[in-house]
Amino acid sequence: MSDERIKVNIIGAGLAGCEAAFRLSKRGYKVRLYDGKPYVKTPAHSSNDYGELVCSNSLKSDALNTASGLLKEELRLLGCELISIADSVRVPAGSALAVDREKFSALITKKLEEDENIEIISKVFDDWDTDEYTIIATGPLTLDALADSIAKKLGDGLHFYDAAAPIIDGSTIDYSCAFTADRYGKGDGDYVNCPMNRDEYEIFYNALVSAECAVLHEFEKSDVFEGCMPVEVMAKRGKETLLFGPLRPVGFFDENGKRHYAVVQLRRENTEGSAYNIVGFQTNLKFPEQQRVFRCIPALKNAEFLRYGVMHRNTFINAPKCINKHFQCLNYPKTFIAGQLSGVEGYVESIMSGLIAADALIACVENRPMPVLPTDTICGALCAYLETPSDDFQPMNANFGLLPPPEKRIKDKSEKKTYLSQKSLESLKKAIF
């Protein structure tokens, strides 16, 4: 092996960094895995072990009719080390893959320490050498000095708060209660509009202001939310506040020429129209509450959520302008960015990014084409999402809305998801075997 091949640095020993380290080691690469532990931790970390699960012990559903279950099954097919470790320390949790958090991180740490190809170095980086092969996987709480360096080098800055509205399955919109149009007729009909009368608005409003919010960590509390206010906070400023904000009805009229009382707008998230963003509905409500409250909107009474709204501390790059679908920096081809810093959202998605970035780096070093996963797989679709041009890029988790719709219409939702899962796995098997 040449000297160049052994110089692979990984900054950050979270889920993405650990998976990348194992992946590179299996291919015979020497890895220098850098992390601040045990001397320096982010406010969210407490353990000295690596691959620490911070907020939950659940890696979501393992069922193949869920996007999270499909993602894990794809990773098993790809030989993912961390999913294998998770399977070995799972605890009873119905159809979910829940793990013993301490055992999970301890086993990851043990395997890293025993791996002769991996050297763990306790070090905090302020910058990195773009002439060395490097995977940056420092997570949503990347320390300020390194975050500043990333922002300066990538040239498009960093986002430090993830303020995202929910995304719903376009096929679950009730069009008998909605219409497609742009305000004042200007535009090409890119929005789906969900009107409410006074009584319907009252029901929605009362549900919204009484809903339970997620608890923020101390390091997440910031005045930044004044500039990007959660819809529930805006609502509590007065019953009519939303009517002058995201639910303003101006520019829309019913069949009798009368203006609607309130209008919720949905904006396409993809060209197929299989996913729609609820415009202006960034929120800190708990996920079950988002379902309960937003389904009070008549056109969304049967809505299925592809991604819930979030408002939390989450450092991430503007991926479409900074990296390609291989997690490779556009301006620094020896630098790869993985984990939540790259714009994927979630534990398993971060693991996937580490695996894909490592495979791409290996191909780059060996001067051969980088592997491309089909876009009808969850892994391939999520990677493609990262390089899709966007005026308002937001982190994304695995969801069926990323996949191409079935060739034939399938009315039953569970049957449709099962079909997409089967097609995805078949496509992945053809690609890798």
Residue ranges of domains in the chain = 3-162+313-432, 167-308
**pLDDT of 65 over the 70 cut:** yes
Q: How far apart (Å, rounded) are the C-alpha atoms in residues 122 and 424?
A: 40
Ranges 28-32, 63-67, 264-268, most confident? 28-32
**pLDDT of 2 over the 50 cut:** no
CA 363 to chain centroid: 25
Could you tell me if 99 and 90 are in contact, meaning their C-beta atoms sit under 8 angstroms apart? yes
**pLDDT of 60 over the 80 cut:** yes
Give the three-state DSSP class for 224.
Answer: helix
**pLDDT of 218 over the 70 cut:** no
**Predicted pLDDT of residue 188:** 64
**pLDDT of 37 over the 70 cut:** yes
Q: How far apart (Å, rounded) are the C-alpha atoms in residues 315 and 51?
A: 18
Query: What DSSP letter does each residue of 33-64 carry, written as one string?
Result: EEE-TTT---TT---SSSS---S-SEEEE--T
Domains 3-162+313-432 and 167-308 belong to one CATH topology = no
CATH of domain 167-308: 2.40.30
User: Range with the lowest mean pLDDT among 46-60, 179-193, 323-337?
Assistant: 179-193
Q: Tell me the average pLDDT across 248-255.
A: 86
Res. 217 pLDDT band, cuts 50 70 90: low
Of residues 129 and 53, which shows the higher confidence score? 129
Q: Tell me the average pLDDT across 391-411.
A: 89
> Which pTM was predicted?
0.75
Of residues 253 and 210, which shows the higher confidence score? 210
**Predicted pLDDT of residue 267:** 84
- Percent of the chain residues topping a pLDDT of 90: 63
Average pLDDT, the chain: 89
Res. 280 pLDDT band, cuts 50 70 90: confident
**Predicted pLDDT of residue 364:** 95
Architecture of domain 3-162+313-432: 3-Layer(bba) Sandwich (3.50)
Closest CA to 180 of 195, 193, 197, 167: 193
The tens digit of pLDDT for each residue in 367-399 reads 999 999 999 999 999 999 999 998 888 889 999
Closest CA to 1 of 24, 39, 28, 41: 28
Give the three-state DSSP class for 100.
Answer: coil
